[in-house]
């Protein structure tokens, strides 16, 4: 480009500023440089002024930025200030580019990307120009610094090779920060791994965003050569030189719901079998679990997030835990949520990233091993969505403590190495876990087999247990269901892959129909988004009364001391939340007794699942162990009692066989007695003074 062109373009920018940004520049001049160092330019404005210039800005942003900044320096200011190092920061591009769609073609272009900040380093000074002081003659040699540190070849004064020392006062530094922005979960089609891009930012825009923020970043796309064990590789990475970073309004439920969709949604909301249909539509390939599925549906809709007049907040999100034997379809159920819930994250408790489930401050390659990086984990990435976490019992100990805060306060605080941050995690947690010993032990109360601390367990609104006991009728139905689902899949696959397939479309359709969701996933997704956006139900008097009644009976007999799910006021809030969710499902403005009835039934069944009798507030071992009439505790006492009795009769202690015989007379099976004896031995309550003889300690 010729000199004339340069001057011409600079003039164009000056005119653009005069027409569009007069006030903004006036303001900048007043606040420069301490309070403000950037002029924000909307690309749209530039386009309105001159589409060619705007398009050039997209194609050659580096060059155009220089003209724009030069024009700003030359701009006639009313006050006597020089905007020496002011930045022009472009934002508001017409179309953001998908992070996964970035290709070599985009290199050197101005692009905008949207996503969630996955990692952010702390802000550190970066040297822009180093002043090397010659130790022989004292002359300063200035060397501009890029990504690699450059030293002078020779002194500009005496032309000798140093030695040099850096004079920090004479060197120039700028604040620098590196971010990693990842595609938002809502943009992903079920199961895709999110892609990310690194963004380098400098000066006044550093330190403004933190991990977990949803942002739009506009900047210039560059390449960075990869290295493999010190060898430069022919493969390059993309990174963005960020010109502007804006935090997005977080309330957006950006799903396109057309008028036609809205009609379908309203029609569905009046369906008399609405709740049944919803349940039928959740993971139809998984047989059974109707109660669990209804609860998950409620979780999708969630209760109302309440803000009190004093500014405090009550969460509306529901947390749910499934504890069950292996191979009972828990993982499958959790994975299905990803297809359904906007902004959902599926991960395992072990966590695949260093941030794990919550968040972490780490020192790793991302910050060149020097800077601390704050990294958002699953519960932060799922902000405003659902975090489906499999194998929750395997979560790392660092996550356990942060989890308490995350579930109740819906935020995660990190305070480490000078990083003090509070990240938002307003999500619902759907957790799955195996029992303590991998599989439920039918002789132990279920409550004692939940391998999570009570304080954490009590934060779940609902807990369901799944035991895999053979049951002929159920097994037959399950087999039928799985075979049917697989057969539909076989027919469909055969027809799609075999050219000469004799399977007709009608055949496929008729078999598929039986295993298809009643409501299409796409419609259900929109329905949920619509309800969460439009529907804020309030409680009727009758509903309030019903919940009050149920809660008081629950508390009635006081709390069981060993209860892993102490009934506290949290349960009361859980009831309210669930009832609101139930009302939302049919887009109702009020929570009625229809909702409270439904919810009370679910809560009752959830409590029974963990072995608590909702009527008395006590554990009832009969529920845990169908078939015995005496409670667990009595029986333990009994076996111990029998040993105590017998040891007085026999000098060498109570003979093993004798103990079993007496216990059997009292109605306890042999296998259970043996189990009990083993347990008492393990606990150190009894010992074996001689082979096959027992004594109470
Ligand atoms: P878990 O996570 O509980 O250990 P998985 O979700 O991995 O179990 O399930 C194991 C397999 O068994 C899956 O292929 C799943 O489809 C099947 N399965 C288990 N229970 C059911 C069920 N109730 N309906 C349909 N499939 C089931
Ligand atoms: Mg599993």
Which class does domain 99-247 fall in?
A: mainly beta
- Of 612, 449, 298, 445, the C-alpha closest to 604 is 612
| Distance from Cα 483 to the centre of ligand 2, integer Å | 21
Tell me which long-range contacts 259-267 makes (C-beta under 8 A, separation of at least 24).
261/523, 261/526, 261/530, 262/530, 264/523, 265/523, 265/526, 265/527, 265/530, 265/587, 266/587
Structure confidence at residue 108 as a pLDDT band (50, 70, 90): very high
Judge whether residue 513 has pLDDT over 90.
Answer: no
pLDDT of residue 371: 78
Question: What is the domain partition of the chain in residue ranges?
Answer: 3-91, 99-247, 535-625, 630-696
**Domain at 535-625: CATH code:** 1.10.8
User: Average of pLDDT values for 217-229?
Assistant: 84
The span from the CA of 392 to the CA of 451, in Å, is: 9
For ligand 2, the distance from its centroid to the CA atom of residue 325, given in whole angstroms, is 9
CA of 482 to the centre of ligand 1 (A): 10
- Band (633; pLDDT cuts 50, 70, 90): very low
337, 281 contact by CB (below 8 A): no
- The topology under which CATH files domain 630-696 is Arc Repressor Mutant, subunit A (1.10.10)
Question: Closest ligand to 481 CA?
Answer: 1
When the pLDDT of each residue in the chain is averaged and rounded to a whole number, the result is 83
For the CA of 349, the nearest ligand: 2
Distance 330 CA to ligand 2 centre (A): 6
Task: Name the residue among 72, 90, 70, 89 with its Cα closest to residue 81.
Answer: 72
Task: Give 465-502 pLDDT, tens digit per residue.
Answer: 888 777 788 888 888 888 888 888 888 888 888 877 77
Q: Contact 323/463 with Cβ under 8 angstroms?
A: yes
Question: Which of the listed residues 324, 327, 474, 478 should we mutate to test ligand 1's pocket, taking the one with most ligand atoms within 8 A of CB?
Answer: 327
Indicate whether 624 pLDDT > 50.
no
Question: Minimal CA–CA distance to 577: which of 232, 304, 237, 241?
Answer: 304
State which of 279, 284, 292, 329 you would mutate to test the pocket of ligand 1, scoring each by most atoms of that ligand within 8 A of its C-beta: 329
pLDDT > 70 fraction of the chain, expressed in percent and rounded:
89
Which residues touch 472 (CB under 8 Å, ≥6 apart)?
none
Q: Which residue minimizes the CA distance to atom 23 of ligand 1?
A: 287
Residue nearest to atom 9 of ligand 1 (CA): 329
What's the pLDDT tens digit per position in 335-385?
Answer: 888 778 777 888 888 766 667 888 888 887 777 767 788 888 888 888 888
Ligand 1 atom at shortest distance from the alpha carbon of 326: 4
Give mean pLDDT, residues 52-72.
93
Residue spans of alpha helices (H) in 327-463: 330-340, 378-381, 397-408, 454-457
For the chain, the straight-line distance linking the first and the last C-alpha, in angstroms and rounded, comes to 96
Q: Which residues contact ligand 1 via a Cβ below 6 A?
A: 285-288, 324, 326-332, 478, 482
Q: Quickly state the pLDDT bin for 251 (edges 50, 70, 90).
A: low
Residue 543 has pLDDT above 80, yes or no: yes
Q: Which CATH number fits domain 3-91: 3.40.50.2000, 3.30.1640.10, 3.40.190.10, 3.40.50.450?
A: 3.30.1640.10
The pLDDT value given to residue 150: 84
pLDDT tens for 425-448 read 889 999 999 888 778 776 676 667
For residue 294, pLDDT over 80 is answered with yes
Query: Which atom of ligand 1 is found nearest the CA of 485?
Result: 25
Residues 6+ apart with CB under 8 A from 594: 582
* Residue 266 CA to ligand 1 centre (angstroms): 34
pLDDT value of position 352: 60
Task: Please give the distance, rounded to the nearest whole angstrom, from the Cα atom of residue 390 to the centre of ligand 2.
Answer: 7
The lowest-confidence range among 80-94, 212-226, 306-320, 623-637 is: 623-637
* d(CA 558, ligand 1 centre) in Å: 38
Q: Which ligand is nearest to the CA of 328?
A: 1
């Amino acid at each position: 480009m010729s000199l004339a062109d340069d001057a011409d373009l600079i003039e164009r920018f000056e005119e653009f500023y005069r027409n569009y940004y007069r006030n903004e520049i006036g303001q900048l001049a007043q606040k420069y440089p301490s309070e403000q160092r950037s002029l924000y330019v909307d690309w749209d404005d530039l386009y309105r002024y001159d589409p060619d210039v705007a398009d050039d800005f997209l194609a050659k942003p580096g060059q155009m930025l220089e003209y724009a900044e030069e024009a700003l320096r030359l701009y006639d200011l009313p006050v006597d200030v020089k905007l020496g190092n002011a930045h022009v920061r472009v934002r508001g591009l017409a179309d953001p580019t998908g992070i996964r769609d970035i290709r070599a073609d985009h290199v050197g272009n101005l692009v905008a990307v949207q996503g969630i900040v996955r990692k952010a380093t702390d802000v550190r000074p970066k040297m822009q120009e180093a002043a090397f002081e010659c130790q022989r003659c004292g002359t300063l040699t200035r060397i501009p610094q890029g990504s690699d540190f450059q030293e002078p070849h020779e002194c500009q004064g005496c032309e000798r090779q140093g030695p040099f020392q850096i004079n920090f006062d004479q060197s120039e530094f700028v604040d620098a920060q590196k971010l990693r922005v990842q595609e938002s979960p809502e943009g992903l089609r079920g199961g895709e791994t999110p892609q990310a891009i690194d963004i380098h930012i400098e000066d006044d825009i550093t330190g403004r965003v933190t991990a977990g923020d949803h942002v739009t970043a506009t900047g210039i796309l560059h390449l960075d050569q990869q290295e493999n064990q010190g060898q430069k590789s022919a493969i390059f990475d993309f990174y963005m030189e960020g010109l502007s970073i804006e935090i997005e309004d977080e309330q957006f439920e950006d799903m396109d719901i057309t008028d036609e969709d809205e009609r379908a949604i309203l029609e569905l909301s009046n369906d008399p079998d609405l709740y049944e249909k919803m349940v039928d539509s959740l993971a139809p390939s998984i047989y059974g679990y109707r109660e669990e599925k209804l609860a998950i549906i409620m979780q999708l809709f969630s209760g109302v997030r309440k803000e009190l007049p004093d500014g405090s907040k009550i969460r509306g999100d529901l947390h749910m835990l499934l504890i069950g034997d292996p191979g009972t379809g828990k993982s499958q159920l959790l994975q299905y949520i990803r297809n359904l819930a906007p902004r959902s994250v599926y991960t395992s408790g072990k966590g695949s990233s260093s941030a794990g489930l919550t968040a972490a401050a780490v020192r790793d390659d991302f910050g060149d091993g020097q800077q601390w990086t704050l990294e958002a984990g699953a519960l932060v990435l799922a902000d405003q969505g659902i975090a489906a976490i499999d194998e929750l019992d395997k979560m790392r100990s660092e996550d356990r403590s942060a989890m308490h805060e995350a579930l109740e306060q819906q935020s995660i605080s990190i305070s480490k190495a000078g990083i003090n941050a509070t990240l938002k995690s307003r999500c619902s947690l759907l957790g799955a876990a195996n029992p303590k010993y991998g599989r439920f032990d039918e002789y132990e109360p279920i409550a004692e087999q939940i391998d999570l601390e009570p304080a954490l367990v009590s934060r779940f609104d609902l807990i369901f247990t799944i035991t895999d006991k053979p049951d002929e009728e159920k097994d037959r139905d399950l087999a039928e269901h799985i075979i049917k689902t697989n057969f539909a899949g076989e027919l469909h696959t055969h027809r799609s892959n075999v050219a000469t397939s004799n399977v007709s479309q009608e055949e496929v359709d008729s078999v598929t129909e039986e295993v298809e969701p009643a409501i299409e996933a796409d419609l259900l997704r929109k329905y949920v988004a619509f309800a969460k956006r439009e529907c804020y139900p309030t409680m009727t008097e009758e509903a309030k009364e019903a919940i009050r009644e149920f809660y008081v009976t629950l508390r009635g007999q006081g709390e069981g001391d060993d209860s892993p799910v102490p009934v506290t006021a949290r349960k009361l809030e859980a009831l309210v939340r669930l009832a609101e969710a139930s009302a939302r499902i049919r887009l109702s403005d009020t929570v009625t007794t229809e909702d409270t009835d439904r919810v009370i039934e679910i809560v009752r069944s959830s409590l029974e699942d963990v072995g608590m009798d909702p009527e008395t507030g006590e554990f009832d071992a009969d529920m845990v162990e169908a078939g015995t009439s005496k409670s667990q505790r009595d029986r333990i006492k009994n076996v111990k009692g029998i040993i105590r009795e017998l040891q007085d009769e026999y000098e060498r202690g109570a003979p093993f066989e004798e103990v079993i015989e007496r216990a059997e007379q009292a109605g306890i099976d042999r296998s259970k007695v043996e189990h009990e004896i083993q347990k008492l031995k393990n606990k150190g309550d009894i010992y074996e003074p001689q082979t096959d003889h027992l004594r109470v300690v």
